[in-house]
């Protein structure tokens, strides 16, 4: 058995993590430590396991080998531990995943009321604060279907923030958006990064990575192939695979 | 050739077409063996001629009806859509009443019995149906969740249940439960047996409806809820089911209406619901048809009530879909 690792200075820690989908080896010996307040951008070709990796961090997917610690708590088969961990880990999806049958405000107060058992009034106050932060308080009583993609994604960010998480996970938050809406979402994320949140973000937005990332991680075929500061990684990729990926990204 | 003609003389083609359809309807009615008696009834002077020329008379009657239908069609076309719908309902309802009228029903007899039909029959039918609907809904919800379970034992139980209770005729289930359970030492009353059979049978059908509804909600929804920390039962109750309701309600409404009428099968074990009373109340005075028609109309009215309820609920759950 692996010894319990020293956990000082890691908000998220992955030790020798493997995951298979049937025969397919989706994550292959992932070792990764992310410090509190650190901003990490994950990139890599399609199918390289980026989504799988961050979905393992809040146990939307279960890993089969190795250890994952979030906030010092190991994620294992205990679903209650996973539920507790998820309260401290916000997640933003490519497809927003807002609840279409609830208004924007109801989307934001659902988890605070049912998971944290906050009184409705407090939950509404918190929700309105964050809706103002993402600059759409006036849409609070509309349904998600009535908003543009960019607005929906900002609501999704606000909804996650309402749980007051220590960690935010983003899985290609701008990939499903029309080009003119990408900026408003990225601006929101940049502002969030300024606030000292631990962030793990799967994205191919190099401008965003340069601006906020402390570290860029490059994945290919289920492995972490390379990591470094954004300046190093984008200017001087060490591996051929990363160089090839970056050249394709530019074109 | 014909299409060329239609294109060149559109008005002429239209008229020819109408005349052709009229002829077809006339011939169709004639072939169905329509009677000409109603003409003699309306215009007594013609009855002698009708008796002398039966074939010609019937042909004439068919033609008249075709013309009346055509005139009616033309008249309805002048109205707005809403008026058309109401018009058609009124006309067909009048025809239906005419049909019943032709049985020579004894209205006083119906008037005498209807109070009991309602106070005993309707109350029992509604009471059995309402309880069965509630239990069937619970069964369906449980069954659907079980059918989506990864656990093989639970999945096996659920599939065996739906297969068995969808596969046996409801009438058989009622008999088996009513006559069979006492064999294994559990004596069951007629009404509980009926409710049990209805609930189990419709629960099995509705399990499939609920399962399909739950599966129609994209996976992102439950992932979004899970990521927020909601437990799996909260995710189901707060996020999945409210959305699935939109898919579930229309076919479930159908099931409720079907169940209301299938509750008539419970009469075979002697429960005094509408059907049982319809069969027994007319016996003493040989007025079966009166009671059967009364019962039919009562079932229809109850179904209309359910239809109305269904559309109201659909509106409520469809709210978020409007843009
Ligand atoms: N539930 C699943 N069942 C089977 N295979 C899966 C499942 N989820 C992902 N995979 C496979 O695992 C691999 C990694 O998927 P993942 O979604 O993590 O890639 P990704 O790096 O996020 O790619 P993309 O940039 O396209 O989002 C892919 O080949 C995918 O087909
Ligand atoms: Mg992905």
- Rounded to an integer, the average pLDDT of B137-143 is 94
Using alpha carbons only, give the angle B273, B275, B278 rounded to the nearest 5 degrees.
105
CB contact under 8 A, A110 and B229: no
Q: How do residues B280-323 score in pLDDT, each as one tens digit? A: 888 877 888 888 888 999 999 999 999 999 888 888 877 666 44
How many Å apart are CA B33 and CA B29, to the nearest integer? 7
Q: What is the pLDDT of residue B321?
A: 60
CB-nearest to A93 from B220, B317, B320 is B220
d(CA A72, CA A85): 10
Q: For A121-138, write each residue's pLDDT tens digit.
A: 999 999 999 999 998 999
Among the residues of B32-151, which ranges form H helices?
A: 37-42, 47-52, 54-77, 81-101, 107-116, 123-147
Contacts of A102 in chain B (CB under 8 A): 320
Q: What percentage of chain A has pLDDT greater than the value 70?
A: 96
Out of A99, A159, A160, name the one closest to residue B239 (CB): A99
What is the rounded radius of gyration, in angstroms, for the C-alpha atoms of chain A? 18
**From ligand 1's centre to the CA of A43, what distance in Å?**
14
CB contact under 8 A, B229 and A91: no
* Residue in chain A nearest B240 by alpha carbon: A99
Site to substitute for ligand 1 among A17, A20, A22, A26, most atoms within 8 A of C-beta: A26
Number of Cβ atoms within 10 Å of the Cβ of B260: 23
- Averaged pLDDT, B10-37: 84
CA distances from A181 to A122, A137, A203, A204 (A): 31, 18, 15, 15
Using a CB-CB cut-off of 8 Å, the residues of chain B touching A160 are 227-228
- Report d(CA B159, CA A70) in Å as an integer: 39
What ligand 1 atom has the least distance to the C-alpha of A49? 18
The answer to whether the Cβ–Cβ distance between B242 and A101 falls below 8 Å is: yes
Residue of B nearest to A55 (CA): B227
Hey, is the C-beta of B237 within 8 angstroms of any chain A C-beta?
no
pLDDT for res B205: 94
A2-24 residue pLDDT tens: 444 445 678 999 999 999 999 99
Nearest by CB to B223, which of A89, A97, A98? A97
Q: What's the rounded mean pLDDT across residues A161-176?
A: 94
Measured in angstroms, the CA of B321 and the nearest CA of chain A are apart by 7
Helices B152-167 and B123-147 pack at an angle, to 10 degrees, of 140
- Residue of minimum CA distance from atom 17 in ligand 1: A51
Residue A250 has pLDDT above 80, yes or no: no
Task: List B residues 240-269 in contact with A (Cβ-Cβ < 8 A).
Answer: 242-243
What's the gap in Å between the CA of A224 and the closest CA on chain B? 24
User: Does A50 score more than 70 pLDDT?
Assistant: yes
A245 pLDDT higher than 50: yes
Distance CA B200, CA A213 (A): 59
Distance B261 CA to ligand 2 centre (A): 52
B86-104 pLDDT, tens per residue?
Answer: 999 999 999 999 888 888 8
Structure tokens at B319: 């709210």
Beta-ladder partners of A90: A168
Shortest Cα distance, chain B CAs vs residue A84, angstroms = 7
Atom of ligand 1 nearest to the CA of A50: 21
Closest CA in chain B for residue A58? B227
Is the pLDDT at B44 greater than 60? The verdict is: yes
Q: How far is CA B320 from the centre of its chain?
A: 29
Q: Which residue intervals of chain A are DSSP H helices?
A: 50-57, 79-87, 104-114, 120-133, 149-161, 179-194, 206-212, 230-235, 240-250
What residues flank ligand 1, with Cβ below 6 Å? Answer: A 21, 24, 26, 44, 46-52
For B189, residues 6+ apart whose C-beta sits below 8 A from its C-beta are none
Lowest mean pLDDT across A88-92, B200-204, B239-243, B269-273: B269-273
Predicted local confidence at residue A2, as pLDDT: 44
In chain B, which residue's Cα lies nearest the Cα of A87? B229
pLDDT given for residue B5 in this prediction: 76
* Min Cα separation A16/chain B (Å): 24
Q: Report how far ligand 2's centroid is from the alpha carbon of B15 (Å).
A: 64
Share of chain B above pLDDT 70, in %: 98
Q: Is residue B33 scored above 50 in pLDDT?
A: yes
The residue of chain B with its CA nearest to that of A108 is: B228
C-alpha span between B280 and B123 (Å, rounded): 17
Q: What is the pLDDT of residues B46-81, one digit of tens each?
A: 878 877 888 888 888 888 888 888 888 889 889 999
Specify which of A75-89, A218-232, B26-40, B109-123 reaches the highest per-range mean pLDDT. Answer: A218-232
Shortest alpha-carbon distance between residue B241 and chain A (Å)? 10
DSSP per-residue letters across B137-197? HHHHHHHHHHHT-S-HHHHHHHHHHHHHHHHS-HHHHHHIIIIIHHHTT----HHHHHHHH
B75 reaches A (C-beta below 8 A): no
A160: nearest Cα among A53, A86, A239: A86
Q: From the alpha carbon of A53, which atom of ligand 1 is closest?
A: 18
B227 touches chain A (CB under 8 A): yes
Instruction: Say how many CB pairs under 8 Å bridge A and B.
Output: 64
Q: What are phi and psi of A71, to 5 degrees?
A: 60, 30
Which among A33-47, A74-88, B177-191, B283-297 has the top mean pLDDT? Answer: A33-47
Whole-angstrom Cα distance, residue A203 to residue A201?
6
Using most ligand atoms within 8 A of CB, pick from A47, A57, A205, A249 the residue to mutate for ligand 1: A47
CB contact under 8 A, B229 and A60: no
Q: Which pLDDT value is given to residue A5?
A: 47
pLDDT for residue A3: 43
Helix (H) or strand (E) holding B318: helix B288-318
């Amino acid at each position: 058995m692996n010894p319990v690792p020293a956990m000082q200075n890691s908000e998220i820690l992955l030790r020798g993590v493997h995951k298979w989908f049937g025969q397919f080896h989706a994550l292959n010996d992932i070792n990764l430590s992310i410090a509190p307040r650190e901003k990490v951008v994950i990139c890599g070709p399609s199918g390289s396991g980026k989504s799988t990796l961050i979905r393992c961090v809040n146990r939307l997917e279960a890993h089969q080998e190795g250890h994952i610690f979030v906030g010092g708590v190991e994620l294992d088969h205990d679903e209650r531990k996973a539920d507790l961990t998820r309260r401290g880990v916000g997640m933003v999806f490519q497809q927003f995943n807002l609840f279409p049958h609830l208004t924007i405000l109801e989307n934001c107060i659902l988890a605070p009321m049912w998971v944290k058992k906050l009184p409705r009034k407090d939950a509404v106050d918190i929700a309105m604060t964050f809706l103002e932060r993402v600059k759409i308080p006036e849409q609070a009583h509309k349904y998600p279907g009535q908003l543009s993609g960019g607005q929906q994604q900002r609501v999704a960010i606000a909804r996650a923030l309402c749980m007051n998480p220590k960690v935010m996970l983003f899985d290609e938050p701008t990939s499903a958006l029309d080009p003119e809406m990408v900026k408003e979402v990225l601006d929101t994320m940049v502002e969030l990064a300024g606030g000292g949140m631990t962030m793990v973000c799967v994205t191919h937005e190099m401008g965003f990575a340069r601006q906020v990332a402390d570290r860029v991680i490059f994945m290919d075929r289920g492995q972490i192939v390379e990591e470094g500061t954004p300046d190093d990684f984008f200017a001087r990729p060490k591996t051929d695979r990363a160089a090839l990926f970056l050249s394709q990204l530019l074109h | 050739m014909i299409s060329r003609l239609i294109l060149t003389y559109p008005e002429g083609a239209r008229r020819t077409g109408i005349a052709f359809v009229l002829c077809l309807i006339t011939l169709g009615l004639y072939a169905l063996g329509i009677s000409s008696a109603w003409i003699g009834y309306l215009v007594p002077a013609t009855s002698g001629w009708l008796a002398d020329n039966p074939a010609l008379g019937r042909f004439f009657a068919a033609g008249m009806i075709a013309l009346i239908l055509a005139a009616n069609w033309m008249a309805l076309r002048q109205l707005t859509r809403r008026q058309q719908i109401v018009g058609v309902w009124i006309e067909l309802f009048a025809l239906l009443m005419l049909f019943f009228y032709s049985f020579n029903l004894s209205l006083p007899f119906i008037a005498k019995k209807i109070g009991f039909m309602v106070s005993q029959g309707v109350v029992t039918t509604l009471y059995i149906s309402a309880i069965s609907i509630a239990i069937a809904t619970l069964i369906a919800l449980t069954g659907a969740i079980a059918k989506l379970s990864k656990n093989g034992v639970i999945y096996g139980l659920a599939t065996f249940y739906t297969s068995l209770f969808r596969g046996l005729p409801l009438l058989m289930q009622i008999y088996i439960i009513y006559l069979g359970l006492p064999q294994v030492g559990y004596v069951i009353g007629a009404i509980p047996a009926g409710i049990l059979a209805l609930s189990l049978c419709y629960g099995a059908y509705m399990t499939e409806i609920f399962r399909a509804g739950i599966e129609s909600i994209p996976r992102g929804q439950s992932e979004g809820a899970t990521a927020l920390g909601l437990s799996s039962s909260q995710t189901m109750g707060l996020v999945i089911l409210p959305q699935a309701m939109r898919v579930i309600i229309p076919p479930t409404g159908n099931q409720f209406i079907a169940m209301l009428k299938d509750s008539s099968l419970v009469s075979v074990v002697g429960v005094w619901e509408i059907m049982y009373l319809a069969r027994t109340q007319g016996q003493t005075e040989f007025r079966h048809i009166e009671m059967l028609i009364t019962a039919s109309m009562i079932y229809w009215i109850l179904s209309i009530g359910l239809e109305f309820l269904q559309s109201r609920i659909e509106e409520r759950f469809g709210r978020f879909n409007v843009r």
